[in-house]
Amino acid sequence: MYICICNALTDKQIRSMLGEAAGSTAKVYASFGCRPQCGKCVPYVRNMVRQHCACAAEAEAEVPLMAAE
Ligand code: FES
């Protein structure tokens, strides 16, 4: 599904870049060599970035720490 019509970016394309965008909505656009035009997609992309960061933080918290010897 297209998320950004102006830049022809789909949800799949955006999801594939979330790890490299390091929690930044602007970096998502930059990773595709573009930037928001009309801006209508920005809240959706921002939400995707936030959800990705929350999931990544949750997954990191679930990693058991090694016991110090
Ligand atoms: S829909 Fe993404 S900038 Fe217009």
Q: How far is CA 60 from the centre of its chain?
A: 17
Indicate whether 66 belongs to any domain. no
- Measured in angstroms, how far is the CA atom of residue 63 from the centroid of ligand 1? 37
Domain count, the chain: 1
From the alpha carbon of 6, which atom of ligand 1 is closest?
4
Best CA proximity match to 32, nearest among 14, 12, 49, 15:
14
Q: What is the pLDDT confidence band of residue 64, given thresholds at 50, 70 and 90?
A: low
Domain residue limits at 53: 2-60
pTM for the structure as a whole: 0.80
- Please indicate whether residue 38, judged by its CB atom, sits closer than 6 Å to ligand 1: yes
Indicate whether 51 belongs to any domain. yes
> Is residue 46 scored above 80 in pLDDT?
yes
Ligand 1 test: best mutation among 13, 41, 44, 46, most atoms within 8 Å of CB? 41
In angstroms, what CA-CA distances link 67 with 29, 62, 64? 41, 15, 9
Mean pLDDT of 19-44: 92
Average pLDDT value for the chain: 87
Mean pLDDT of 25-52: 95
